[in-house]
């Protein structure tokens, strides 16, 4: 049996995974809906995304759903929603059970206007830490936008970030692995126009730097309260991403510092080669800005203390997607930059700068010595010639 007409009440009250009851619908889109499930005995809540019956009959949409499950199952990071179960029920319901995140989206926060720079730094650093893990695992999100960044609370610490929705993520298959079916058609643009990179707007091949550009657009909006490009039609917005430079953030919000403006515009460079090469490099730039503001040593990035704890996932009855090996090694490689690391980096940069200046001074000194030597030789030669002429050496 397929769920052809999945209305707002069709799953409410139903029991899934043995002891979990569907209590209400959290949201709905063209492909499906998201429901809240409650386990009363342990007072646990989880979210379940299900496909509409019509969408479940589309091979492309089902494979995209599978792609999201695979992408999230590969990741183990405190700032990325955790996947618990993925599969299909006996009556044909395709579902994806995941961590329930209670809070506000960054989109809802934007309704309050531009953010203070320190708060924007704190939030964006967490997003970049999450994306660093994804990129390390060969996953490009491709749909980063304020709606997919949730702000919740952890241990009374506000603005704890969760990155959502890897539905159109690009997953790099391991060497020798089964080649995945291409889910995006040539010449077709996927994503949200206001946050697409120039190469994504042109439906070109993408790598992780498209996410860097999207996060640059989001940071622009966090600081200014406005999107970089706005127009009546999506096509016009995409064209602006490709051909026009954004209005400098400081012109939109005079409180934007020159340092922050430089970081934003570098992330939003038209050419991928001109952007930050990696999410880690972008994160380091923000950490450096924190140090300039004098808050890096006092403000810890939320989630640093739960990297290890994040590996403890609820055990639910049902199929789990394979991870293809132990993920702890990749997690250990995740770079979460704290203030101490930033300070060491700044110290190394200062030492490199001092060494470069010393080398320049040595070169200048050697040059001056060489010039003096040449002048001395010329002077000695002139004195010899004068002596030679006066002594009658010339006949």
pLDDT tens-digit series, residues 95-117? 888 889 999 999 999 999 999 99
Q: Which residue has the higher pLDDT, 228 or 330?
A: 228
Q: Indicate the range of 38-47, 307-316, 347-356 predicted with least confidence.
A: 307-316
Q: With bands split at pLDDT 50, 70 and 90, how would you rate the model's confidence at 27?
A: confident
Q: With bands split at pLDDT 50, 70 and 90, how would you rate the model's confidence at 277?
A: very high
Task: Provide the mean pLDDT of the chain.
Answer: 78
Q: Which residue has the higher pLDDT, 165 or 194?
A: 194
Q: Mind listing the pLDDT tens digit for each residue in 170-189?
A: 777 555 445 444 444 444 45
- Asked whether residue 163 carries a pLDDT value surpassing 90, the answer given is yes
| 3-class DSSP string for the chain | CCCCCCCCCCCCCCEECCCEEEEEEEEECCCEEEEEEEECCCCEEEEEEEECHHHHCCHHHHHHHHHHHHHHHCCCCCCECCEEEEEECCCCCEEEEEECCCCEEHHHHHCCCCCCHHHHHHHHHHHHHHHHHHHHCCEECCCCCHHHEEEEEECCEEEEEEECCCCCCEECCCCCCCCCCCCCCCCCCCCCHHHCCHHHHCCCCCCCHHHHHHHHHHHHHHHHCCCCCCCCCHHHHHHHHHHCCCCCHHHHCCCCCHHHHHHHHHHCCCCHHHCCCCHHHHHHHHHHHHHHHCCCCCCCCCCHHHCCHHHCCCCCCCCCCCCCCCCHHHHHCCCCCCHHHHHHHHHHHHHHHHHHHHHHHHHHHHHHHHHHHHHHHHHHHHHHHHHHHHCCCCC
C-alpha distances out from residue 265 to 114, 212, 367, Å: 17, 11, 39
Q: Indicate the range of 57-71, 79-93, 210-224, 326-340 predicted with least confidence.
A: 326-340
Q: With bands split at pLDDT 50, 70 and 90, how would you rate the model's confidence at 365?
A: low
- Asked whether residue 31 carries a pLDDT value surpassing 90, the answer given is no
Q: Which residue has the higher pLDDT, 139 or 61?
A: 139
Q: Which residue has the higher pLDDT, 66 or 236?
A: 236
Residues classed as catalytic: 143
Q: With bands split at pLDDT 50, 70 and 90, how would you rate the model's confidence at 333?
A: very low
Q: With bands split at pLDDT 50, 70 and 90, how would you rate the model's confidence at 316?
A: very low
Q: Which residue has the higher pLDDT, 294 or 231?
A: 231
């Amino acid at each position: 049996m397929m769920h052809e007409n999945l209305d707002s009440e069709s799953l409410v009250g139903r029991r899934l995974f043995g002891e979990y009851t569907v209590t209400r619908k959290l949201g709905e889109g063209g492909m499906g809906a998201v429901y809240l499930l409650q386990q009363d005995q342990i007072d646990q809540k989880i979210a379940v995304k299900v496909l509409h019956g019509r969408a479940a009959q589309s091979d492309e949409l089902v494979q995209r759903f599978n792609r999201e499950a695979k992408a999230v199952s590969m990741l183990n990071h405190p700032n990325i929603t955790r996947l618990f179960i993925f599969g299909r029920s006996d009556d044909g319901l395709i579902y994806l059970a995941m961590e329930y995140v209670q809070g506000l989206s960054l989109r809802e926060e934007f309704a309050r206007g531009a953010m203070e720079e320190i708060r924007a730094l704190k939030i964006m650093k967490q997003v970049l830490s999450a994306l660093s893990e994804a990129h390390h695992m060969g996953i490009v999100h491709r749909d980063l936008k304020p709606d997919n960044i949730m702000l919740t609370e952890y241990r009374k610490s506000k603005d704890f970030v969760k990155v959502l929705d890897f539905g159109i993520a690009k997953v790099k298959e391991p060497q020798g692995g089964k080649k995945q079916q291409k889910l995006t058609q040539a010449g077709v643009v996927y994503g949200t126009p206001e946050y697409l990179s120039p190469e994504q707007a042109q439906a070109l091949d993408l790598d992780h730097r498209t996410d860097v550009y999207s996060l640059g657009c989001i940071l622009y909006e966090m600081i200014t309260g406005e999107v970089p490009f706005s127009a009546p039609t999506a096509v016009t917005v995409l064209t602006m991403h490709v051909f026009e430079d954004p209005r400098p953030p400081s012109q939109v919000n005079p409180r934007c510092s020159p340092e922050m403006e430089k970081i934003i515009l570098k992330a939003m460079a038209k050419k991928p080669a001109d952007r930050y090469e990696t999410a880690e490099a972008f994160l380091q730039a923000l950490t450096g800005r924190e140090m300039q503001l004098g808050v890096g040593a006092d403000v810890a990035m939320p989630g640093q203390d739960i990297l290890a704890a994040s590996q403890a996932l609820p055990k639910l009855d049902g199929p789990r997607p394979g991870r293809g090996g132990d993920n702890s090694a990749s997690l250990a490689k995740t770079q979460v930059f704290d203030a101490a690391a930033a300070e060491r980096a700044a110290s190394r940069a200062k030492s490199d700068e001092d060494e470069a200046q010393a080398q320049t001074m040595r070169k200048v000194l050697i040059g001056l010595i060489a010039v003096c030597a040449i002048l001395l030789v010329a002077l000695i030669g002139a004195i010899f010639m004068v002596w030679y002429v006066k002594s009658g050496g010339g006949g």
